[in-house]
């Protein structure tokens, strides 16, 4: 059983649409990361959160610790948002090395 599940696996949207990517996990955590992997392969950290909500530009990340669930929202999506979005959790009591990664959600935004 995967400890970090992302949905959907693939997502196609039209430019301007509001997008939601979900991440569910089964372990107690101390932090959750959202990462973006560009088509060229590079990985960028978008958010790190342990409670509540964070916003950066058109991106919003929320987390519900009780429900073991996080969402990444993209408002007014643009073709440059096309990427793979990866959720990763750091288990409670675990070292920074013990991140558990989801398999990623591949987003394609069409103009």
Q: Does 86 bind other proteins (CB under 8 A)?
A: yes
Phi, psi of 20 (to 5 degrees): -130, 130
Q: Does 94 bind other proteins (CB under 8 A)?
A: yes
Burial classification of residue 4, based on how many CB atoms lie within 10 Å of its CB (0-12 exposed, 13-18 middle, 19 or more buried): buried
C-alpha span between 66 and 55 (Å, rounded): 21
Instruction: Mark the segment that binds other proteins (CB under 8 A) among 53-61, 64-72, 73-81, 91-99.
Output: 91-99
Instruction: Mark the segment that binds other proteins (CB under 8 A) among 16-24, 65-73, 74-82, 93-101.
Output: 93-101
C-alpha span between 90 and 83 (Å, rounded): 23
Residues near other proteins (CB under 8 A) are 4, 30-31, 33, 35, 40-45, 48, 50, 86, 88, 90, 93-104
């Amino acid at each position: 059983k995967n400890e970090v599940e992302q949905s959907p696996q693939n997502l196609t949207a039209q430019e301007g649409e509001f997008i939601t990517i979900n991440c569910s996990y089964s372990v107690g955590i101390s932090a959750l990361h959202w990462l973006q992997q560009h088509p060229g392969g590079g990985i960028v950290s978008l958010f790190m959160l342990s409670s509540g909500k964070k916003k950066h530009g058109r991106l919003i990340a929320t987390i519900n610790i009780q429900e073991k669930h996080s969402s990444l929202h993209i408002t007014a999506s643009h073709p440059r948002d096309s990427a793979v979005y990866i959720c990763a959790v750091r288990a409670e009591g675990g070292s920074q090395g013990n991140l558990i990664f989801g398999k990623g959600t591949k987003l394609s935004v069409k103009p």
